[in-house]
Amino acid sequence: MESLKGKTIGFGMTGSFCMYEKIFAQMEALKTTGADLIPVFSDASQNTDCRFGKAEDFIKRAETISGHNIIKTIPGAEPIGPKSFLDLMLIAPCTGNTLAKLANGITDTPVLMAAKAHLRNQKPLVIFLSSNDALGMNFKNIGLLFNCKNIYFVPFGQDNYRKKPTSMVSAPSFIIDTILEAFRGKQIQPVILSPKPQKEMK
């Protein structure tokens, strides 16, 4: 695996809790590359207990893996801009809500502030999509972000096209490869995955 030693990566987490177990596994894998990870939690991520776990446990796990306290407020995320201390930011998972706000310039959570602050430095932002309406109301927002400089997508596809035909989810196993390509200024391809059942998306 290619080393990311010396790279500081912001790791934004939003409220697609069904993906957390896989995302934490990828956070651990990313840490083994030598990257320094700075976790940023949305309001939902740090305050919502759900059937997938408790918010305090999510926070503790992110802090244990990264070795840093989470950024949990908008004022806490704002210095990412002027201090320019991130080399890349990843939002994983990125809900449809966060995606829509990002595409329309709305900054009302710590993750969105971190993304906005980071993008002002013209450095890569990587999006791990997890949205039930990716092929619905959010389809236009995906298109908008695809045309934005310095924004890259982890390859995604329909995770359950029979029961949830508008739902699309990125494949966790492609996170590190997407980051490596983003550092080269390239969108990893193919970015749209086949709707056939895929082990990494289950």
Q: How confident is the model at residue 195 (pLDDT cuts 50, 70, 90)?
A: confident
Split at pLDDT 50, 70, 90, the class of 35 is: very high
User: How do residues 114-172 score in pLDDT, each as one tens digit?
Assistant: 999 999 999 999 999 999 999 999 999 999 999 999 999 999 999 999 999 999 999 99
pLDDT of residue 31: 97
Query: In this predicted model, which residue has the larger pLDDT, 118 or 195?
Result: 118
Residue 196: pLDDT band (50, 70, 90) is low
Task: For 92-110, write each residue's pLDDT tens digit.
Answer: 999 999 999 999 999 999 9
pLDDT of residue 94: 98
Strands 36-41 and 8-13: parallel
Indicate if the pLDDT at residue 201 is higher than 80.
no
Residue 193 pLDDT exceeds 50: yes
What pLDDT, on the 0 to 100 scale, is given for residue 152?
A: 98
HSE at residue 183, side-chain half, CA atoms within 13 A, is 17
What pLDDT, on the 0 to 100 scale, is given for residue 202?
Answer: 47
Domains of the chain (ranges; CATH) run: 27-201 (3.40.50.1950)
CB atoms within 10 A of CB 190: 9
The pLDDT tens digits for 42-98 are 999 999 999 999 999 999 999 999 999 999 999 999 999 999 999 999 999 999 999
* Predicted local confidence at residue 3, as pLDDT: 87
Q: What percent of the chain has pLDDT over 90?
A: 94
Question: Is the pLDDT at 199 greater than 80, yes or no?
Answer: no
Across the range 4-28, mean pLDDT stands at 97
| All residues at 6 or more sequence positions from 50 whose CB lies less than 8 Å from its CB, including other chains | 17
